[in-house]
Structure formats: C-alpha cells, structure tokens
Amino acid sequence: MSTPVSGLPLRVVRRLAVFLVSVLVASVLVFWVGSALPGNVAQVVLGVQATPDAVARLQHDFGLDRPWPVRYLFWLGGLLHGDLGRSYLTGEPVLSQVVPRLEVTGWLVGLAMLLAVLLAVPAGMWAAVRRRHADGFAVSALSQVGLAVPGFWLGILASLVFAVRLGWLPANGYLPLADGIGGWAAHMVLPVVSLALVQASVLARYVRSATIEVLREDYYRTARAGGWRTVPALLRHGLRNVALPVVTVIGLQLATLLAGAIIIESVFALPGLGRLLLDAVAQRDLMVVQGIVLLLVVAVLAINALVDLSYALLDPRLRSEGRDRG
Amino acid sequence: MRRRLGLVVAVVTGLAVMLAGCSGPGARSSGNRLPANTLVIGATAEPPTLDPTVNNAAAIPQVLLYNVYETLVKVDGTGQLQGLLAKDWTVSPDRRTYTFHLQPGATFASGRPVSATDVKWSIERIVSADTSSVLKTQMAVVDTVTAVDDHTAEVTLKRPSNSWLWNMSSTAGIVIDSQSGADLATTPAGSGPYALKAWAKGSQIELVRNGTYWGTRAGVDAVTFRYFTDANAMNAAMLSGDLNVISNVQAPQALDRFSDTSRYTVMQGTTNGEVVLGMNNLNPALKDVRVRRAITYAIDRKALLASVWNGKGTLIGSMVPPTDPWYEDLAGAYPYDPAKAKELLKEAGYENGLTLRLRLPTLAYATGAGRFVQSQLAAVGITVVIDELEFPARWIDVAMRQSDYDLTIVAHVEPRDMVNFADPSYYWHYDSETFRGLMAAADAGTPQEYIDDQRAAARVLSDDAAADWLFLLPNLVVTTPQVTGLNANATSLSFDVTRAAVGS
C-alpha cells in the first residue's frame, strides 16, 4: 500500500519512460522524413555547373548513397554519445553550429512566453470578472483580434513604426547578452513583443474561461458570502484552478511558439535556430536539419512531460489518481 | 477591490512598457547608428564556408574576391581585364604560354611577399587537390606552371584558351598564401586590402583594413556584410540607419522607399544574370526551331519587364550582358508579334494547340514572369501548365539534373556563361554544331577573334531562338549619399569595396 507521496516518483518514472520512447520514435520519423526530401546537398554544394559524375562522387563521400536505415543507425550511435553529426556543407559539428543559435531562440521563446503569461493572466481574469461590462468585453474583443493577427505581420509593423519611423529601436540583428545588456535588450524588445502578443491573446482566452468556471464554483461563492471581495477570493481560491488549464495550454502552445519564432527570426534577421533550420532545409544539409528538428521535438516532448507532472503538484486529486492506477 | 485589480493590470502594463522602453532611445539615435568610416552592407545569402575553392556558392566570392583574396588579373567595372597581382603579362605567339610579372611589393596579410611559388601552388592546388569540380574544369587546360623567379610565373596551356585568362580573374585564379597552413574554410589567407576580422554565423562577416596592404590603401576602415533572409528586414534596416549599403535590391518595387535623394543614392547597373526562358529540346515540339521562334514572338518582353520587375533591367536578346566586349543589341530580333507566332505554330503543325509544362523555381522573378508567359502563350494557342519547384534543391534536381520540364525560367548569373549552350547534355539540350564551332574558335583565337567569334555565336543563339532571354537582371545598389566608389555594374562575382569611401 503506497502513500500519496510515493505515488509521485512512480508517476515520474512512468512519464520518463513514455518520454524516452517518444524521443526514439521521433528520431526515426525525423530521419526518415529528412531522407525522403527530394533534392540533394551534393548538387547544392557543386552548383548548377556540376557534372552528374561529380555529384555522384560527392554523394558517396557524404555517405548519402547508403540506405537510410543504415545512416539512421550511425546517426543514432552518434546521438548516444551526444554527437549530432557534421554539416555536409561546412564540415562543422552540428552541435557547435546549434549551440550559439540556442541562446537567441531560447531568449526569444522564453521571454515571449513569460511576457505572454504576465499579460494574459491579469487580462483574462479581468475579462472574466468584468464580462458583463464594457471594459471586460473590450479585453475579450482585443484578445480575439490578437488571435487573428499573424505574428510576422505584427513584427513587420513594429519594425516599421519603432525602428524605421521613430528610430527608437534597431530594426533587426542581435547582440549577445555577454556584450552588454543594453544592446541585447534593444534588439530583443520588438521580436519578443511581436511573438508574445499573439501568444498572450490565445492564453488570455483560456484564462478567461477558466476564471468564469471558478466564479461559478461553490467554494468561490462561499468565500464571497463569507465576506471576501472579488480579487482576494479569486487569488486565494481560484488561481490554482485557473493554473491547471493554463499550464496545459502553455505546454501545447510551445510548439506553435517555436514555429512562430522561426518566422520572427527571419523578419528581424536574428541568428537563431529557426534561420539555421530554414537555410539548412533550402540547402538540403540534412544533418543540420535532423539535428535541429530532433532538438525541437525533444524540447516539446520534455515540456509536455513536465506539464503532465506539474498537474500532480497543482492538483492533489490527480496525484492520488496516479497512486490508484499504480 | 476593483481598484486593486486595476492596480495589478497597471503594474503589469507598466512592466511591459518599461521592458519596451528602457533600452530604447538611450543607446542609439535614428539615422546615425554606424561608426565613422565603415561600410555596413546588407546582403541576402551568407557563405556556407569561407573557402571559395571547394564550394561554388556565389556568396563566398561576393565578400572575399578582390577584397580579401586577389588574382593575377581582375575584371573592372566595365568588364575589362586589368592587372592586379600581375603588373603585366605577355602571351606567346602560339597563344599557349602566359608570362606574368608580379607586383614586386605585393605581400599577403601575413606579411609574406607574394611570390611566383604561391601562384604555382595556388593553380596546382585547384588542379589536383580536393577543390570544386567547376574550378577544376576551368583549369583543366593548364599544362604546366613554373616559377621562373620570385616575381615571374609562367603558365603553359595544353591548347590556346581565352576563357582560361578570363577565369583567372575569378575564384579559380585567386592566389593563396602557400605557407599559411590555416584552415581556409574559416581563415582566409589572401593579399587583399581587407582581412577577415570576425564571422558571426547566421548574422554577419566583418572585414578590417589590412594595415600593411601593398597597393592603394583601402578608403574604409571596416566593412561588414550583414545577412538577411527577408528582403523587408533588409529594407527596414537600411531605412532605420543600420546599414549604409544594400548590395542588391531583390524586389524593384521596394525602390520607391529609397526615393528621397537627400538620404539615399540608387545606382542602377547591369549584372551577368540573364533571365532565361529555357526550352527543353528533348521535347519534339521544342526541338523545332519554328516553335521556339513562335514562343519568342509571342512574348512581349518589354511588358513582361514592366509588369514583373518594375521596368528595371535590360532587354538583351541573347546570352550576352552589355559589359561583355562582344555585346550587341539583339533585343529587337523578335518583336512582339502574336500573329506571326500563330503562323509559325501552324507551319510546325501545332495549329490545334500545344500543351507545355512550365516548371518554375520558387524565386520572385521566375514565378512573376511565369504567370505572364502563361497568359501570353495562351493567346497564341499554347496551354502552359505551371508547376513550382522549391529552389535550389528541387529545381536543380528536377529541371536541371533530370531535365524533367518543357519550359523553365531561371537567371544564369555566372559571367560569360554563354558557353553552356555548347554542351548538348546541359539541361536545355540545345545542339548546334555551328555554335560549338564558333565557341571553340573563339576560345583558341586572338583577342580580336575571341570577340568576333563570340559575337557571331551569340547571333546564332538568337537566330535559333535557343532560348527566350526575357531580360537581364539589374544591379540595384542603394547607398547613403556619403558612400562613393562602388561599381554600378556587377561584372564579376565580387562585391568590390576596394575603392569605396564614406564621406562625412
């Protein structure tokens, strides 16, 4: 007979197993889809004037003439040693190409997510509490509009207004944080805000409906009847219940956010993972493509695993359910 | 409590505004962000590696040729060959032996003098080492290279070849420091007026003036090539003062944004980029010269240029840009005449129509021109089925390697690439003995015969309607008015900044 506390480690182990199997399946899919892409890197390297002989020779040098399952096994062997292979185009290890780009994309996605949560939680709650009033309705309407606006369009608009017209911020490019916070922040503001606003709109709608649920709950009405005012009652009793659906949505939205980051990086000429991925796809540098896609897939799977586990922390009922099944 | 919730919203909003504002105006002010006496150039494609001898990406010589690496001879802004590391050169009467006299004071960025041994090493490296097959082909005609003394190099060819000397002015002819031992993929070893300072992958390449340069000192302290995948982002950077040069505007429609002459100078020159409507001669209909001529008559190239490229660019009529010495204006050879086109189609037996697959690379000029071509050919009874192929990977694979297309549109940007029509296995499968004969004679002939025979060859292409030369891509360079010394014409693969200056 396990206690509620021992239910949690079991849940962690089970979730970890699911995570590892998913990563393995994903790696096969990523590699297979990559190798099914028409066009080849040897032709791109050699250019339009290359002879078919030279292309075939380079294909052989790259090992691309071997069947994909064989290449996959070599790749997997490397992965187990933390080696993502080498770029066909530059000969550089994929990992050393990816790491500097991770800084850019990591900041971009992380800050955008943070800003989105900071904007969406109060806005969504406001829209719920004031849903029968004009201001609450306005917040809802605004989030609807935000949903419909593509992030890249917002990005182009923001750079036209704040960089070109007003000259307050650089239109594009990136300075590493190590070179000083001022320049780094100046380059991050527009991309982060463009990415965050769309995300905040999505989140705000979930926060709003989750809050409305809470407002209808008995415990909330009891608290109100006991003399609590709206906001303290919500913060004290509602936040935890609002958090659950919101955390789920954040986890699900991460993949969209990464996709949005690829486009935003292009709009603001940020040297992030997304741009590296786009270039590598165009040039059929499959090692780089596969390496990045696998990293992104692992990131999304890991976040989803963490979201699952966070349920247990947020809601004790789910924790004991885990124990019962275990 | 409504007040408190209001407070929370206000604090969060305040935070967001602060985040947006704190770093804003302080550091930089609009329009004057660039350090003095530097060039920051916006460009579209980043080099995959810095070794131009192993990879044919045009982005590599764009940065390095003439600026960082030098050649014995150089193409100037009007398309003429000039001496660079070679003070002068002589050609033997049988046109097979070239004797180059090197600049006596020339040194590499490392400080080593440029000697005939480096010339020999560099050429032999192209021929024998693991370098790009295109360069190997260009240098295949070399028989021997000898270092006669420190400052004299002698190259003997297997047969006379004018194109060889021309190729020596480009990547194949760069002279590399034979003692550098550096990995050329990341560290150039050249003798140019600039040296590599830093390469921030995914974003920019920085060059600095080589303080000990042997020749005329470069006018600008530092040159940065910044890379953009999105043309809008590049324009925005120029408009907000983050750049002082756009190396080539990719969408002529955007030029309107740089019309304020007090802030911008727009240079319009020529390139080597012939936008070719290729016709696959493996298709029996297109093997018939009457059909090819009909297609050429059926397309109003002037209207096409106006509609897809804002009228910027040049109508050429054959595979020759105006900067080649054998250029003549053949743009009027097939005036727009749909009636004549129909007549020719009828003669060829296609009065009941003809269906062709137009496979386009996903490039702005190609997809734009493709739709125009489709509607104009429809008017003479040719049904065009458009199919877009991702560029470069799929287009190169399907259209170029497998020749699986009837019509296609792509810009051929290599200098003097008319020679491709002499190869019947090339993806057009154009096969003309007359043309091949003229090209061979041109290559082997005297400088005058070279010009005459190339001109005659270009006429053969035009007569045969070997392709329809839709237009020549323009070179559209935008700079701030302070920038001078850039070439209007893109005659070589280099974005030559050796004579650039930034006034105040």
HEC sequence for B64-122: HECCCEEECEEECCCCCEEECCEEEEEECCCCCEEEEEECCCCECCCCCECCHHHHHHH
Average pLDDT (B5-32) is 45
B31/A44 Cβ within 8 A: no
Say how far apart CA B174 and CA B493 lie, in whole Å. Answer: 13
Distance from CA of A269 to the nearest CA of B (A): 6
> What is the distance, to the nearest Å, from the Cα of residue A238 to the centroid of all Cα atoms in its chain?
27
Distance from CA of B9 to the nearest CA of A (A): 6
From chain B residues 412-451, the ones with a CB under 8 A of any chain A CB are: 412, 414, 420
Radius of gyration of chain B (CA): 26
Higher-pLDDT residue of B17 and B155 is B155
Taking only the tens place, the pLDDT of each residue in A287-323 is 999 999 999 889 888 888 888 888 777 766 665 544 4
A115/B56 Cβ within 8 A: no
Taking only the tens place, the pLDDT of each residue in A197-214 is 989 998 999 999 888 888
Contacts of A279 in chain B (CB under 8 A): 46, 229
pLDDT band at B362 (very low <50, low <70, confident <90, very high): very high
Q: Report yes or no: B333 at the A interface, CB cutoff 8 Å.
A: no
| Tokens describing residue A234 | 């919500």
Q: Which residue of A has its CA nearest to B397?
A: A39
Distance from CA of B401 to the nearest CA of A (A): 8
Average pLDDT (B414-437) is 95
Distance from CA of A318 to the nearest CA of B (A): 31
Distance from CA of A261 to the nearest CA of B (A): 14
Highest mean pLDDT among A143-147, B68-72, B391-395: B68-72
- Give me the pLDDT at residue A5, please: 52
Average pLDDT (B411-435) is 94
From chain B residues 5-44, the ones with a CB under 8 A of any chain A CB are: 5, 8-9, 12, 15-16, 19-20, 22-31, 33
DSSP 8-state symbol, A234: I
- Give every CB contact of residue B344 below 8 A, 6+ residues apart in sequence: B290, B291, B293, B294, B297
DSSP 8-state symbol, A86: B
- Give every CB contact of residue B179 below 8 A, 6+ residues apart in sequence: B110, B112
What percent of chain B is modeled with pLDDT above 70? 94
pTM above 0.90, yes or no: no
Q: Report yes or no: B1 at the A interface, CB cutoff 8 Å.
A: yes
Q: Residue A239 carries which side chain, given as an amino acid letter?
A: L
Pairing between β-strand B204-209 and β-strand B222-227 as defined by DSSP bridges: antiparallel
- Give me the pLDDT at residue A320, please: 54
Provide the mean pLDDT of chain A: 84
**pLDDT higher than threshold 50 for residue B23:** no
Taking only the tens place, the pLDDT of each residue in A44-78 is 777 766 777 778 888 888 888 888 889 999 999 99
Taking only the tens place, the pLDDT of each residue in B123-133 is 999 998 778 87
- Give me the pLDDT at residue A323, please: 45
Buried b (16+ CB within 10 A) or exposed e, A220-245: beebeeeebebbebbbebbeebbbbe
- Give me the pLDDT at residue B131, please: 81
Distance from CA of A228 to the nearest CA of B (A): 10
Q: Measured between alpha carbons, how far is residue B266 from residues B256, B269, B377 in Å? A: 10, 10, 35
Taking only the tens place, the pLDDT of each residue in B202-213 is 899 999 999 999
Say how far apart CA A30 and CA A297 lie, in whole Å. Answer: 9
Say how far apart CA A200 and CA A44 lie, in whole Å. Answer: 41
Name which of B33-47, B261-275, B438-452 the model is least confident about: B33-47
pLDDT band at A192 (very low <50, low <70, confident <90, very high): very high
Query: What ipTM goes with this model?
Result: 0.81
Q: Which residue of B has its CA nearest to A163?
A: B240
Who among A40, A52, A122 is closest to B12 (CB)? A122
Contacts of B204 in chain A (CB under 8 A): 173
Q: Which residue of B has its CA nearest to A87?
A: B48
| Tokens describing residue A151 | 């992030």
Containing B277, the helix (H) or strand (E) segment is strand B265-279
**pLDDT higher than threshold 50 for residue B321:** yes
Higher-pLDDT residue of A7 and B68 is B68
Who among B19, B185, B239 is closest to A91 (CB)? B185
Name which of B22-31, B72-81, B100-109 the model is least confident about: B22-31
Say how far apart CA B344 and CA A241 lie, in whole Å. Answer: 78
> What is the distance, to the nearest Å, from the Cα of residue A317 to the centroid of all Cα atoms in its chain?
28
> What is the distance, to the nearest Å, from the Cα of residue A50 to the centroid of all Cα atoms in its chain?
40
Who among A38, A167, A189 is closest to B20 (CB)? A189
Contacts of B201 in chain A (CB under 8 A): 97, 100, 271
- Give me the pLDDT at residue B229, please: 85
- Give me the pLDDT at residue B251, please: 87
Say how far apart CA A47 and CA B396 lie, in whole Å. Answer: 8
Closest alpha carbon to B199 in B64, B71, B70: B64
Measured CA angle at B139 (ends B138, B142), to 5 deg = 140
B185/A164 Cβ within 8 A: no
Measured CA angle at B306 (ends B301, B311), to 5 deg = 105
| Tokens describing residue B293 | 């001529």
Q: Report yes or no: A159 at the B interface, CB cutoff 8 Å.
A: yes
Measured CA angle at B483 (ends B495, B498), to 5 deg = 40
| Tokens describing residue A273 | 């993972």
Phi-psi region of B5 (alpha: psi -120 to 50; beta: other; left: phi over 0): alpha
- Give me the pLDDT at residue A270, please: 92
In the numeric block, the tokens 């204006």 are attached to B329
Q: Which residue of B has its CA nearest to A130?
A: B2
Average pLDDT (A237-246) is 77
CB B174 within 8 A of CB B122: yes
Containing B218, the helix (H) or strand (E) segment is none
Say how far apart CA B144 and CA B264 lie, in whole Å. Answer: 50
Who among B27, B226, B394 is closest to A173 (CB)? B226
